[in-house]
Amino acid sequence: MKQLTIEETMQVSGGGMGAAWFGSALIGAVGIVNNLLNAAGPIGLALNNLGPVVRIAHQAGDSAIYEISKIATGIGRALGGKGSPNYHYPTEW
């Protein structure tokens, strides 16, 4: 059995040059979305004062976006992308 080189492994896994560019773009997009959420964070925190239902809905929405962001970042890294988004959820909650 032949052992694959790093280059062959990257080609088989989809981590070639084009995929790495797309992966980095995906991670960058995740970063932009989370930065926008961080910028709007004070509005969400103010709305939390409207009651527990609003607070629960706000946290559930942020949590869902956080999970989707982590999945998208993982896909981006699997494609060979670089970057580390500043996630909104751990910043706010």
Q: What is the pLDDT of residues 58-84, one digit of tens each?
A: 999 999 999 999 999 999 999 999 999
**Angle 72-83-19 from CA coordinates, rounded to 5°:** 60
pLDDT of res. 16: 59
34 in any annotated domain? no
pTM exceeds cut of 0.85? no
pLDDT of res. 4: 75
Are the beta carbons of 20 and 80 closer than 8 angstroms?
A: yes
32 in any annotated domain? no
What is the domain extent for residue 75? 48-93
CA–CA separation, 71 and 85 (whole Å): 12
Cα separation values, 73 from 10, 28, 63, Å:
18, 9, 15
- The number of distinct structural domains making up the chain is 1
Mean pLDDT of 11-20: 68
Amino acid at 67: E
